[in-house]
Amino acid sequence: MSVTLTERAARHISNFIDKRGKGFGVRLGIKTSGCSGMAYKLEFVDQALDGDLVIDSHGVKIVIDQKSLVYLDGTELDYVREGLNEGFKFNNPNAKNQCGCGESFNV
Amino acid sequence: MSLLQIAEPGQSAAPHKHRLAIGIDLGTTNSLVATVRNGIAVCLTDEQGRALMPSVVHYRDGGGIELGFDAMNARVSDPRNTIVSVKRFMGRGLADVTHIEAMPYVFEGIPGMLRLRTVQGSKSPVEISAELLRALRERAEASLGGELTGAVVTVPAYFDDAQRQATRDAARLAGLHVLRLLNEPTAAAVAYGLDNASEGVYAVFDLGGGTFDLSILKLTRGVFEVLSTNGDTSLGGDDFDHRLYCWVLDNARIAPPSAEDARRLQMAARAVKELLTVSEETPFRLRLDSGEEVDLTVTRAAFFEMTRPLVQKTLTPVKRALRDARLSPRDIKGVVMVGGATRMPHIQRAVAEYFGQEPLTNLDPDKVVALGAAMQANALVGNRRENDHWLLLDVIPLSLGLETMGGLSEKIIPRNATLPVARAQEFTTFKDGQTAMSFHVVQGERELVADCRSLARFELRGIPPMAAGVARIRVIFQVDADGLLSVSARETSTGVEASIHVKPSYGLTDDEIAGMLRSSLEHAGDDLTARALREQQVEAERLLEACTQALAADGELLDEAERAAIDALIARLRQLAPGNDATALSDGIAALSRATESFATRRMNRALSTALTGHNIDEL
């Protein structure tokens, strides 16, 4: 079971952590809410917790809890630019349908 | 579809609940918008990757608006309908704008606020600024992929109530929720993370295109306080261009240039100035429309030499601001540089020499204000990191007060008081049976109201009739965190109340504020004399009023000789009152008081016996 970052996403994350001045890695997770049932969570991590899985991808540590991993297995996190907007995008093979906003999904 | 940003631990927002906040630097020449993304403040760019948006609005014949870079060409082709530097008109009356005759606009002088007549009808500065703000809002929404929760908009520390209110109105009109108006220097300090730095006093040196501002900020336990501000509203990077332009005219041996050639020479001067920041010497070459050719070499040393007086000129407001804050250059822990003109090496050197330390220059001086505003906005909508809870405090630039009898200004909130602030003072009635009181709110440092700026007037009615000096009227002045003033007055025994919010009415230019401050220092002595005289005049008037009433009521208590003596003294005091000899007036008051002393005693005795007659001792 695994999740990965694209090289571009990894480069941006390590840049953001540098500028932030501290941080162990980035947490990927899901929570239940949103218009399609589940929502992605993307946060800086200062400390991994018990039960967290830590995955190294292009030199960036991804921290993920066991429950979220079930829903995120095989996900690739990308950093994209769409017009003036730029940010992270979850490419999740488990998601059956997504809300048009891209922030929530169901399996 | 929205893209995700990395949140602080535990701060992930629920879908569609992102709190998007922006900071806007609404500048005279250029405006910017910034936000905090993935924990870092960044300026948002347009499709071409440009962060700056020229503060230019072009109202096109036949409808439609061009903004920013798109409107730049229209400055020459359609100057009447192309509004530049609208910030100078915010919250201003027609009479407040200097060099109005040199501007290509058609002004409409509605009392209080000016308006500009364009091909699309009459436009207020608020509406024009709102167009700029709307464009920045749209850029931010396209960049952030959602609706904005709120915005922090920066204003010069010198902006008065009317100008702040106008800025706020413009933002509202542009569909922005204004979280806070923030002083530009304070925003710059925030951008440099001084709020996380150790405690101390910092200076912000802001040399823009046409204005110079210096602010002294104090940081204690994460709280920012603006200790003092000073500046020069007619000193900026443009003056350096102009000095170089004059030097070229002197040295190139060309005929006086046409308007078009002059414009091209000025633009070339600006480009050469910018090049001299990085190179030791630069050619100044230009073929003029007149056929003449300019071919000169400008060395950095020559440029520094010709602009040395301008650099020196920046130090005067620096010294004044330090003096206002009662500090010396040694007390300053760091100096923040803001504004494109601070890129010039000799400015940086002069600042370093004066303060005895290298100024902070590692952030882009054009963007630093917008970045700080974005950080403040981010904190205000609640996206703050743990342990981050700073609060910003600013000061009022000019004292606020009330007019009292005799046209004197009674200062309620002194200049440089930190915001928000509330001060109360008690006043009383001047005449017996007075049932209403009129309040005149003024701003300025001078002792006489005539020399201060009038902000607002209101009346308190329904005061119960009482003897003069008995009623207690409590007046409260409140200035909120945005620097907006409200004044209320309340008669304490009955609770009748009246209040006013100071709305944009009349404006003062920064020049006038600076001028008012200067004149208050220059006229400190005269003002004191004038105040002393007015106080004597008010006292004389009060005494004459009291005597006249007493004579009418109990005149028969005096014999003819006594009455004649008092009448003579009254006549003499009446004569002295309008004069300007404070000493003679004071003597006249003393003489009349002395002469009426025994009369006052007799009146008292009569009042007492009237009160006692017909009562036995038990009743009392």
Answer whether B10 touches A (CB < 8 Å).
yes
Average pLDDT, chain B: 84
What pLDDT score was predicted for residue A106? Answer: 65
What is the sign of the dihedral through the CA atoms of B577, B578, B579 and B583? Answer: positive
Mutate to test the interface with A, among B5, B6, B33 (most CBs of A within 10 A): B6
What is the rounded radius of gyration, in angstroms, for the C-alpha atoms of chain A? 13
Residue B323 has pLDDT above 50, yes or no: yes
Decide if B153 contacts B373 (C-beta within 8 A). yes
Per-residue pLDDT averaged across B355-359, rounded?
A: 95
pLDDT in tens, B84-134: 889 988 988 887 777 777 788 888 876 667 899 999 999 999 999 999 999
Dihedral over alpha carbons A45, A47, A49, A53 (to 10 degrees): 60
- Rounded to whole angstroms, how far apart are CA atoms B312 and B318? 10
Measured CA to CA, the distance from residue B502 to residue B175 in angstroms comes to 23
What does the domain layout of chain A look like in residue ranges?
4-102
Query: Which chain B positions have a beta carbon within 8 Å of A80's beta carbon?
Result: 3
Question: Most confidently modeled of A56-70, A86-100, B511-525, B532-546?
Answer: A56-70
Assign a CATH topology to domain A4-102: Hypothetical Protein Aq_1857; Chain: A; (2.60.300)
The SS3 call for residue B87 is helix
pLDDT in tens, B226-236: 788 888 877 88
CB A74 within 8 A of CB A2: yes
What tokens does B109 get? 């002088």
* Residues contacting B517, CB < 8 A, separation 6+: B398, B445
Long-range contacts of range B95-99, CB-CB < 8 Å, 24 or more positions apart? B96/B506, B96/B507, B96/B508, B96/B509, B96/B512, B97/B509, B98/B509, B98/B511
Domains and CATH numbers, chain B: 1-191+366-386 (3.30.420.40), 237-309 (3.90.640.10), 400-522 (2.60.34.10), 525-612 (1.20.1270.10)
Task: Dump pLDDT digits (tens) for A23-59.
Answer: 899 999 887 664 556 778 888 998 888 888 899 999 9
Cα nearest neighbour of A28 on chain B: B6
The 10s digit of each residue's pLDDT in B262-320 is 878 888 998 999 999 989 999 999 888 888 889 999 999 999 999 999 999 999 999 99
Kindly determine whether residue A102 and residue B1, on different chains, have CB atoms separated by under 8 Å. yes
Q: Tell me how far apart the alpha carbons of residues B454 and B443 are, in angstroms, rounded to a whole number.
A: 6
* pLDDT given for residue A71 in this prediction: 82
pLDDT at B533 over 90: no
Residues in chain B within 8 Å Cβ distance of A40: 4
In chain B, what residues touch A35 (CB-CB under 8 Å)?
Answer: 15-16
Overall pTM > 0.90: no
User: Does the beta-carbon distance from A104 to B15 stay under 8 Å?
Assistant: yes
Higher pLDDT, B323 or B559: B323
How many angstroms separate the Cα of B128 from the Cα of each of B38, B89, B98, B199? 33, 10, 19, 40
- Residues sharing a CB contact under 8 Å with residue B412, sequence separation 6 or more, in sequence order: B400, B401, B402, B423, B425, B475, B477
CA distance B244 to B269: 6
Interchain contact B7–A (C-beta under 8 A): yes
Quote the ipTM score. 0.79
Q: In this structure, are residues B226 and B335 in contact, taking their beta carbons and an 8 Å threshold?
A: no
The sign of the torsion formed by the CA atoms of B72, B78, B84, B86 equals negative
Contacts of A16 in chain B (CB under 8 A): 6, 38-40
Test the A interface: residue of B3, B16, B19, B47 with most A CBs within 10 Å: B3
- Say if B40 is an interface residue toward chain A (CB within 8 Å): yes
3-state secondary structure B488-517: EEEECCCCCEEEEECCCCCCCCHHHHHHHH
Which residues of B are part of the catalytic machinery?
A: 25, 87, 184, 206
8-state DSSP, B558: S
Tokens for B245, please give them.
């332009």
Which residues of chain B make contact with A87, given a CB cutoff of 8 A?
A: 2-5, 37, 145
The C-alpha of A90 sits at a distance from chain B's nearest C-alpha, in angstroms, of 9
Higher pLDDT, B157 or B185: B185
